[in-house]
């Protein structure tokens, strides 16, 4: 390399920043002791601001565009260095590129629950989390307040500081919202919009705004959530008495469709459920008792039509129950006589039918023959 090449290497003729990251907020141009040539090109792309700094003092600020660096467009730097009009020598200055685009998907969350006073549940501890967007609206303030001489300032370096301030403001917002915990979900966007303005005001002296703030979730402690779930279930079920009857009826239906499943034990369960629903239905049909047990129903009347008798191989009847004693007295009806009545599965011995057997015992035997 010749002398001319070494001399050219000491002068910078283009100053720019091609950002290939998604989290760099401030990047210092790596001058490395070289001087910037007067008349060099400065390229500031969309979403960037270039800030010139001289000996620790902020000088000129450039918005997006392409500039030829000369004394006319660097008035503050020219004044700091004491350049006269027409100055054309190389100069030394620090150049910081500040990102002014939206830095999205910044996350926040409450590590510790926030205690609020709820009008319905009393003292409640809430947790919340979400995302927000960060944007620089004043590059000079950002450099003075947060960056300093950091050559590569990223979102990671400021996210924890912002999160702590955000959580503090979220706690205040939730505690002063004057909303029931059950109504907060419906008002999350309103609370988030208020927080966006509050946080922008809070970070104004640092050159930062929070144009977008999102509350993804506000959650209750597990034990409170479980209690709410039970309360919701009760609300869905409505009349618990009607629900109990419905469940019992469903159980009987399922048992009827599966008679072999469960054997004797299953049959016992089915009978128990049937008895339970029978009692509930009886109570429902007796509104005067207000849920008390209804009186026992009267026994059903005997079936009309009497009995058919099998006498000498012939079917006789039907014979009314009141006429049976006469048949006994005549000897036509005995304990071995076959009888049948509507509802009986088959002809049965009279002595095995309780109602007829009672007549057999009550009828007097035939009179003995008269004495000779």
Residue-level pLDDT at 181: 83
Residues 109 and 214 in one domain: yes
Does residue 299 form part of some domain?
A: no
My answer on whether 15 and 120 are in the same domain is no
* Domain identity same for 81 and 153: no
Residues 90 and 110 in one domain: no
**Are 83 and 115 within one domain?**
no
| DSSP labels, 78-129 | HHHHTPPTT--S-B--EEEEEE-S-EEEEEEE-SSPEEEEETTTEEEEEEEE
Sheet holding 307-311, edge to edge: 314-319, 307-311, 338-340, 348-349
Does 134 fall in a domain? Answer: yes
DSSP code at position 143:
I
Identify the pLDDT of residue 302.
45
- Give me the pLDDT at residue 59, please: 93
Q: How do beta strands 152-154 and 11-15 pair? A: unpaired
Domain's final residue, options 224, 246, 269:
224
Q: Which helix (H) or strand (E) covers residue 6, if one does?
A: helix 3-9
Q: Are 252 and 277 in contact (CB under 8 A)?
A: yes
Residue 247 lies in a domain: no
- Is 263 inside a domain boundary? no
Asked if 274 and 252 touch (Cβ cutoff 8 Å), the reply is yes
Same domain, 202 and 114: yes
276 within domain boundaries: no
How far is Cα 195 from Cα 69, in angstroms, rounded to an integer? 42
Domain housing 314: 307-362
Q: How many domains does the chain contain in total?
A: 3
Three-state SS sequence of 268-286:
HHHHHHHHHHHHHHHHHCC
- Answer yes or no: do 42 and 67 share one domain: yes
Residue 243 lies in a domain: no
Distance between first and last Cα of the chain: 171
In this prediction, residue 206 carries a pLDDT of 93
d(CA 222, CA 303): 64
User: Is there a single domain that holds both residue 72 and residue 26?
Assistant: yes
Quick check: is 233 in a domain?
no
| Rounded-to-integer distance, Cα 191 and Cα 196, Å | 9
Q: At what angle do helices 222-237 and 240-257 cross, to 10 degrees?
A: 80
Separation of alpha carbons 181 and 255, rounded Å: 44
Ramachandran category for residue 47: left, alpha or beta (phi over 0 → left; psi -120 to 50 → alpha)? left
- 144 and 164, same domain (yes or no): yes
**Which residue, of 170, 200, 224, is where some domain finishes?**
224
Is residue 137 domain-shared with residue 174, that is, in the same domain?
yes
Q: Please, what sign has the CA dihedral across residues 348, 352, 354, 359?
A: positive
Phi, psi of 339 (to 5 degrees): -130, 155
68 and 107 share one domain: no
Query: What are the respective helix, strand and coil percentages of the chain, to the nearest 5?
Result: 40, 25, 30
Q: Cα 108 to chain center, whole Å?
A: 20
Last residue of a domain, one of 99, 129, 158: 99
Does residue 262 sit within a domain?
Answer: no
Written as tens digits, the pLDDT of the chain (372 aa) is 444 444 445 788 999 999 888 899 999 999 887 899 999 999 999 999 999 999 889 999 999 999 999 988 899 999 988 887 778 889 999 999 999 999 998 999 988 888 888 887 788 888 899 999 999 999 999 999 999 889 999 999 999 999 999 999 998 888 888 888 888 888 999 999 999 999 999 999 999 999 999 999 988 878 777 777 776 766 666 666 666 766 677 777 776 666 555 544 444 444 454 555 555 555 544 545 444 444 444 444 444 568 888 888 888 888 888 788 888 888 888 888 888 887 788 888 888 888 878 877 765 555 666 665
Q: What residues have CB less than 8 Å from 274, skipping those under 6 apart?
A: 252
CA atoms within 13 A on the CB side of 101: 17
CA distance 37 to 263: 100
Is 126 in the same domain as 80? no
């Amino acid at each position: 390399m010749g002398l001319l090449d070494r001399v050219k290497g000491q002068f910078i003729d283009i100053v720019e920043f091609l950002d290939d990251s998604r989290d760099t907020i401030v990047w210092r141009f790596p001058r490395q002791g070289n001087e910037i040539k007067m008349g060099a090109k400065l390229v500031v792309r969309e979403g960037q601001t270039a800030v010139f700094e001289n000996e620790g003092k902020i000088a000129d600020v450039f918005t997006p565009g392409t500039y030829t660096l000369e004394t006319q467009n660097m008035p503050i730097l020219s004044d700091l260095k004491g350049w006269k009009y027409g100055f054309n020598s190389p100069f030394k200055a620090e150049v910081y590129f500040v990102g002014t685009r939206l830095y999205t998907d910044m996350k926040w969350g409450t590590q510790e629950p926030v205690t609020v006073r709820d009008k319905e549940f009393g003292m409640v501890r809430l947790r919340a989390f979400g995302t927000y967007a960060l944007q620089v609206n004043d590059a000079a303030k950002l450099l003075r307040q947060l960056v300093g001489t950091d050559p590569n300032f990223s979102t990671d370096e400021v996210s924890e500081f912002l999160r702590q301030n955000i959580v503090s403001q979220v706690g205040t917002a939730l505690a002063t919202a004057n909303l029931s915990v059950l109504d907060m979900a419906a008002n999350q966007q309103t609370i988030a919009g208020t927080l966006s303005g509050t946080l922008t005001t809070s970070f104004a002296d640092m050159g930062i705004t929070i144009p977008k703030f999102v509350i993804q979730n506000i959650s209750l402690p597990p034990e409170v959530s479980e209690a709410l779930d039970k309360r919701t279930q009760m609300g869905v079920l409505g009349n618990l008495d009607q629900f109990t009857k419905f469940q019992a009826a469903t159980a009987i239906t399922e048992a009827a469709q599966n008679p072999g499943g469960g054997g004797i034990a299953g049959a016992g369960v089915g009978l128990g459920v049937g008895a339970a629903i029978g009692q509930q239905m009886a109570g429902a049909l007796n509104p005067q008792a207000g849920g008390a047990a209804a009186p026992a129903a009267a026994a059903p009347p005997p079936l009309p039509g009497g009995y058919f008798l099998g006498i000498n191989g012939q079917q006789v009847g039907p014979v009314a129950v009141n006429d049976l004693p006469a048949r006994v007295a005549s000897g036509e009806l005995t304990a071995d006589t076959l009888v049948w009545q509507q509802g009986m599965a088959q002809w049965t011995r009279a002595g095995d039918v309780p109602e007829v057997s009672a007549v057999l015992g009550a009828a007097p035997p035939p009179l003995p023959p008269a004495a000779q």
